[in-house]
Structure 1
Amino acid sequence: MLALNKNLQRLVNIAQKEEKLGIGLMSGTSLDGLDIALCRFTGSGLQTKFKLLNFITIPYQEDFKKDVQQVFARKEASLEKVCLLNEYIGTFHAELILQALSEWNIKPNEVDFIASHGQTIYHAPKSQHRQPGYPNATLQIGDGDHIAVKTGIITISDFRQKHIAAGGEGAPLALYGDVLLGSKAGENRILLNIGGIANLTYLPGDGNYANILCTDIGPGNTLIDAACRKYFDRPYDEDSKIALSGTVNEDLLNALLDHPFFNEAAPKTTGPELFNLAFVEAAQQRSGTLPISNEDLISTLSEFTVKSIANFISENFKADHVKIFTSGGGARNIYIIENLKKALPQAAITGTGELGIDPDAKEAILFALLGNETLCGEPMAIGNNPAVLMGKISFPL
């Protein structure tokens, strides 16, 4: 019998370990920086136990953000730039991983695997691109081979493609991790992530997987951040100072909410390909609100996020029968959280810290968990989502 090659033998050895040390990477649509979560895992599936050992967000410099924005959420972009960034981001993320490990006094050979989300540059579900004959599609760049070779650590990447290949839309993938880490018998829960895009996972207390729902809702921070960059030369609305200084324009708010996406049945996905400043300007033109102040625009966009989340939850769940746990950058947005509580007065709203999950680290943790499942889990059938193990494996050699 032929022996396995060294890479495959190493993979088998890692998969059979009682404890695994894994790194989860998340780089979101806000382009704030790279989230790096170092986790220890035992078990898999519903028996998974994890501990977050270290977490850091390494901010991106402005020149890097501008580089990525040249190809980000654009129907037309330089193919050469996409090609170059795919290699560059993989190498760059590897450097940031090694930087974090050095700060934590951990050697790369102590880490069993890296699970990398990559950088989404375009997300195109059929409901959005509407091109006959073409399937759901998505593209994340930041090649896993470059990460593996530069760090010397087995890397699992490109998770979303398997989900699409098996009939899904490639997002949101939080479902699988939320079920494993956030479920509680007898308690209906909503894990609400407010990143660039807002998404949620509903976890019924009866444990019936058929009733679990994971879906995008609409914009989270993406429109607020984009308007802050354009009109205030700021990356985001720190402490909601701008939103709180303005007044919500109801005519514009109603025009923003008057879009077919909000009437589509869940689960559904979206992204900044739809929710961008061109979308906002079109709503302003329809509502005759182009002359409003920049402060009022930020207030209205913040309220748009609140209303789209609150409307979805009110229409699909009994707010007094669920407990809502928030995460993502929007969980720190004073305006969004305070007004969400006002819009859903019967719901209990708190952060995922109450679950033992750092709200800032949650998505990076979830990808580390998906990596652990790739190595030693089994496909899970959850609701109408495909039962798959996701991710492509890259070896260092």
Structure 2
Amino acid sequence: MNSNWKRIFQILEKQERLIIGLMSGTSLDGLDIALCAIQGKGAETKVRVLEFSTIPYDNALKAEVKSIFSRRDADLQMVCLMNEKIGLLHAELILAALKSWGRKPEEVDVIASHGQTIFHAPASLHGLSAYPNATLQIGDGDHIAVKTGIITISDFRQKHIAAGGEGAPLAVYGDYLLFSKKGEDRIMLNIGGIANFTYLPADNDASKVFSTDVGPGNTLMDQFIQKHYEGLYFDENAAIASTGEVNADLLTALMQAAFLSADFPKTTGPELFNLSYLEEAQERSGTKGLRNEDILATLCRFSATVIVAAVEKCFGQAETPSIFMSGGGMHNPLLVAALRNGLPKAAFYTTDDLDINPDAKEAVLFAVLANETLVGEQTNFGNREGVPSVTMGKICLPE
């Protein structure tokens, strides 16, 4: 038997698998690396996060990725080169993390790599009737597998698209397995570049579960900061936005995107919510002369408003869901305060309250998806558009 497959069969028979989950988001702050001990499968999945690190990217790498990120005019050679470079870099960072944790690569059974999204093109966004949903993540899994010597499962989003989904968001699968609770309606709210949530019904009926993007989380604020404040990549603790005032006219113009009123589930990205979108809204609302601080305050309120509207659309205004936050936006006090004011009947928590570091959550979810690829059965999410009942990921062998 081929030694790679012999190793896989050994992993399948283990009671507990050590899986590294990787996540690198559109904010480009760094690579999240979570070493997870996972037992069971499906609804019986149990996860312990043994180690977690976020290794920041340097500014040169951020600039390289930004040169091809969400750009229709991206240099194809650079896309090709960065696919390999990101894979090699992620492998190096994994090995560095393992060394810092006092662990050896041989201890790890599998790496689950999300990759780095550089373009997201669902049909609902590109509008080209002759073309399907599409998405592209770079950071080749074979490079990670060969350089680390660890079996790598990567490229999760392509299977989702092949089975009829839009490639995002994928959190529904891990959220349902890890965080559902009988008798409690839950919203697992992730505020990354794009804000998304998973609805977990109190009756634990998988056919009712869905995950959806709702609109911008941090992306517009981050893009604005990077353009107007040299050396900054985000507004830490909303220090700048907190000194501004929300402009009602600009906020109204920002809320006009057809995506915001579309039915769930849906997906979007910086391909829609970008600085051109902001400039067009300013033009329509006659707010081109606003101070930067006021624009940032309004962008923050915009993100909060679309999240509040999406939760109310899911539950109505009278219900009292439990909302568990994760992602970089949960560290923005101005945004969180606006969410609490907009949803006064909701109970707000972070995934720390569920024993998962909120900064590690997305990396952990990809580790869970890899575990399902190895030993799980298809959870039946019903015959619904956008939530295919599939396992995901391509297996990359180290030898």
TM-score (normalizing by structure 1)? 0.98
Offset, 1:318: 3.4
Offset, 1:213: 2.0
- Give the AA of the match of 1:390: M
Pairing partner for 1:395 from 391, 394, 397: 397
**Secondary structure of the structure 1 residue equivalent to 2:337:** helix
Offset, 1:268: 0.2
Aligned partners of 2:135, 2:248: CA distance in 1, in Å? 34
* Partner residue, 1:360: 359
Tell whether 2:231 aligns with 1:227.
no
* Partner residue, 2:128: 131
Tell whether 2:154 aligns with 1:146.
no
* Partner residue, 1:351: 350
Instruction: List alignment gaps of at least 5 residues for structure 1.
Output: none
Aligned partners of 2:314, 2:39: CA distance in 1, in Å? 35
Offset, 1:122: 0.3
- Give the AA of the match of 2:182: A
Aligned partners of 1:239, 1:123: CA distance in 2, in Å? 28
**Secondary structure of the structure 2 residue equivalent to 1:26:** strand
* Partner residue, 1:202: 199
- Give the AA of the match of 2:309: N
Tell whether 2:96 aligns with 1:110.
no
Offset, 1:382: 1.6
Aligned partners of 2:80, 2:210: CA distance in 1, in Å? 35
Which deviations, in whole Å up to 9, do the C-alpha atoms of 1:72-119 show, x marking residues without a partner?
A: 011121110000000010000000000000000000001000000000
Offset, 1:232: 1.7
Aligned ranges 1:1-397 → 2 under 5 Å: 4-233=1-230, 234-318=232-316, 320-383=319-382, 384=384, 385-397=387-399
Aligned partners of 2:207, 2:144: CA distance in 1, in Å? 37
Offset, 1:231: 1.2
Offset, 1:5: 1.1
Q: Is 183-192 or 346-355 further displaced after alignment?
A: 346-355
- Give the AA of the match of 1:92: L
Aligned partners of 2:392, 2:88: CA distance in 1, in Å? 22
**Secondary structure of the structure 1 residue equivalent to 2:358:** coil
**Secondary structure of the structure 2 residue equivalent to 1:96:** helix
Q: Is 120-129 or 223-232 further displaced after alignment?
A: 223-232
- Give the AA of the match of 2:336: I
Offset, 1:352: 1.0
Offset, 1:161: 0.2
**Secondary structure of the structure 2 residue equivalent to 1:321:** coil
Aligned partners of 1:315, 1:42: CA distance in 2, in Å? 36
Q: Are the counterparts in 1 of residues 320 and 347 from structure 2 also a CA contact under 8 Å?
A: no
Aligned partners of 1:391, 1:315: CA distance in 2, in Å? 32
Which deviations, in whole Å up to 9, do the C-alpha atoms of 1:135-182 show, x marking residues without a partner?
A: 000000000000000000000000000000000001000000000111
Offset, 1:315: 2.1
Aligned partners of 1:343, 1:363: CA distance in 2, in Å? 25
**Secondary structure of the structure 1 residue equivalent to 2:153:** strand
- Give the AA of the match of 2:390: V
RMSD (CA atoms): 0.8
Aligned partners of 1:267, 1:113: CA distance in 2, in Å? 30
Offset, 1:316: 2.1
Which deviations, in whole Å up to 9, do the C-alpha atoms of 1:361-389 show, x marking residues without a partner?
A: 00000001111111111111224211111
How many equivalent residue pairs? 394
Aligned partners of 2:40, 2:197: CA distance in 1, in Å? 25
- Give the AA of the match of 2:298: T
**Secondary structure of the structure 1 residue equivalent to 2:103:** coil
Identity %: 58
Aligned partners of 1:388, 1:334: CA distance in 2, in Å? 37
Aligned partners of 2:201, 2:129: CA distance in 1, in Å? 36
Offset, 1:321: 2.9
Which deviations, in whole Å up to 9, do the C-alpha atoms of 1:243-297 show, x marking residues without a partner?
A: 1100001100000001100111110000011111111001111111111000001
- Give the AA of the match of 2:350: G
**Secondary structure of the structure 1 residue equivalent to 2:95:** helix
Aligned partners of 2:283, 2:141: CA distance in 1, in Å? 43
Instruction: List alignment gaps of at least 5 residues for structure 2.
Output: none
Aligned partners of 1:286, 1:302: CA distance in 2, in Å? 19
Offset, 1:212: 1.3
- Give the AA of the match of 2:396: S
Offset, 1:9: 1.3
TM-score (normalizing by structure 2)? 0.98
Aligned partners of 1:212, 1:45: CA distance in 2, in Å? 14
